[in-house]
Amino acid sequence: MIFKIIGRTIGDSLLFPVEQPFPKTPKDYGIDYKDVEFLARDGVKLSGWLLNETASKVIIMTHFGYRANRFGYQIKYQPRLSRPYNQEIEFVKVAKRLVDAGYTVLMYDLRNHGISGKSRLACGTGGYDERFDVLTAVEFVANHETTRGKNIGLLSYCMGLNATFFAFDEDAESFTNNNVKALVGMQPLGNGEFLKAYGIRGAIYRHADEHYKAHTGIPLEYPILPAVEKVLTPTLLCQGRKDPWTNLDFINDIYETLGVEKEMYWMEEPTHRFDGYNWFYDHPERMLEFFNKHV
- Res. 87 pLDDT band, cuts 50 70 90: confident
| pLDDT for 6 | 79
Whether 155 has a pLDDT exceeding 90, the answer reads yes
Between 65 and 94, name the one with better pLDDT. 94
Segment 75-86 mean pLDDT: 77
pLDDT of residue 200: 86
What's the rounded Cα separation, in Å, for the pair 147 and 174?
Answer: 16
Domain ranges of the chain: 2-294
Helix (H, G, I), strand (E, B) or coil at 156: strand
Q: What contacts 46, CB < 8 A, 6 or more positions away?
A: 37, 38, 39, 40, 108, 109, 110, 111, 116, 117, 133, 136, 137
pLDDT score for 116: 96
Please give the pLDDT value at position 81.
Answer: 60
Q: Is the pLDDT of residue 79 over 80?
A: no
Question: What is the rounded end-to-end Cα distance, in angstroms, of the chain?
Answer: 53
Least confident of 68-82, 133-147, 217-231: 68-82
**Which pTM was predicted?**
0.96
3-state secondary structure 60-104: EEECCCCCCCCCEECHHHCCHHHCCCCCCEEHHHHHHHHHHCCCE
Secondary-structure class of domain 2-294 per CATH:
alpha beta
Residue 20 pLDDT grade (very low, low, confident, very high; cuts 50, 70, 90): confident
Average pLDDT score over the chain: 93
The pLDDT tens digits of the residues spanning 169-198 come to 999 999 999 999 999 999 999 888 888 887
pLDDT-above-90 percentage for the chain: 76
pLDDT > 70: percent of the chain: 99
More confident residue, 56 or 79: 56
Task: Specify the pLDDT at position 249.
Answer: 93
